[in-house]
């Protein structure tokens, strides 16, 4: 459980919430640990708004104290198939190297915003759904990155310098997708509320072909759980 404050109130935490399976699970974990969860999502110019709609549903369902959606148009920089519609989202299987769906420095930017909000709130804990097992090879989902950002957080903040260390939690980083799903179900996560697809339509229906869809579907199959994902081909 989270450590109570001196006043006996639940400690605050900022949880990055994309609207996908992983971040929903992490929000549920932070809540179980006793944190008053402040969820943060980023409208960064992604191809669709379905995942932000999902984030709002998940934040409400899992009892976030507050949910903020920050507008920051990373699409102006380009460099990713998730923000540049002239680039195709790969649908032919795993890619060699870091895939074109990587958004340059996205997690660094999001964690920096979360850090700013956390310090303003008097929170000392950040949570995000990094995963280094069943994932697409993004460099900002590795344990080394998490550890490095935590060091930065304690060098760059008044709280850290004054001896109130900031902590970056990535509780699912070493779990397989099946393990994440089982953990979420234990915590009561309704995965039908989430959207993981890189190119979901306005109704939140998944393509079933992109890397994220394949990893998600394989996780449900391995967990032996019915996949609640709605696909575009359902019509």
27 is in an annotated binding site: yes
17 is in an annotated binding site: yes
37 is in an annotated binding site: no
19 is in an annotated binding site: yes
How far is CA 124 from each of CA 4, 113, 150, 159, rounded to the nearest angstrom?
Answer: 12, 14, 11, 8
141 is in an annotated binding site: no
Strands (E), 95-217: 125-127, 167-169
26 is in an annotated binding site: yes
Cβ-proximal residues to 144 (8 Å cutoff; 6+ apart), any chain? none
18 is in an annotated binding site: yes
Burial 108-129 (b: 16+ CB within 10 A, else e): ebbbebbbebbbeeebbbbbbb
2 is in an annotated binding site: no
20 is in an annotated binding site: yes
Pairing of strands 66-71, 125-127: unpaired
126 is in an annotated binding site: no
In 10 A of CB 58, how many CB atoms? Answer: 30
What residues form the annotated binding site for ATP? 17-27
Binding residues for Zn(2+): 197, 207, 210, 213
Known binding residues? 17-27, 197, 207, 210, 213
């Amino acid at each position: 459980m989270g450590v109570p404050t001196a006043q006996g109130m639940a400690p605050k935490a900022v949880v990055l919430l994309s609207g996908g399976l992983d971040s929903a699970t992490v929000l549920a974990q932070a809540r179980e640990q006793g944190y008053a969860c402040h969820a943060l999502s980023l409208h960064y110019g992604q191809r669709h708004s379905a995942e932000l709609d999902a984030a709002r549903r998940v934040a409400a369902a899992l009892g976030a104290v507050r949910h903020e959606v920050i507008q920051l148009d990373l699409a102006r920089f380009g460099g990713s198939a998730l923000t540049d519609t002239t680039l195709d989202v790969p649908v032919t299987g795993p890619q060699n190297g870091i895939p074109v769906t990587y958004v340059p420095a996205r997690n660094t930017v999001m964690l920096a915003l979360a850090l700013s909000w956390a310090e303003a709130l008097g929170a000392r804990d950040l949570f995000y759904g990094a995963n280094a097992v069943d994932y697409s090879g993004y460099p900002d989902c590795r344990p080394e990155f998490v550890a490095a950002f935590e060091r930065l957080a304690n060098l760059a903040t008044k709280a850290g310098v004054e001896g109130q260390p900031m902590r970056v939690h990535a509780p699912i980083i070493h779990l397989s997708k099946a393990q994440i799903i089982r953990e979420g179900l234990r915590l009561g996560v309704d995965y039908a509320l989430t959207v993981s697809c890189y190119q979901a339509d306005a109704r939140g229906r998944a393509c079933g072909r992109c890397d994220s869809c394949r990893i998600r579907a394989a996780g449900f199959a391995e967990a032996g759980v019915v996949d609640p994902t709605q696909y575009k081909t359902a019509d």
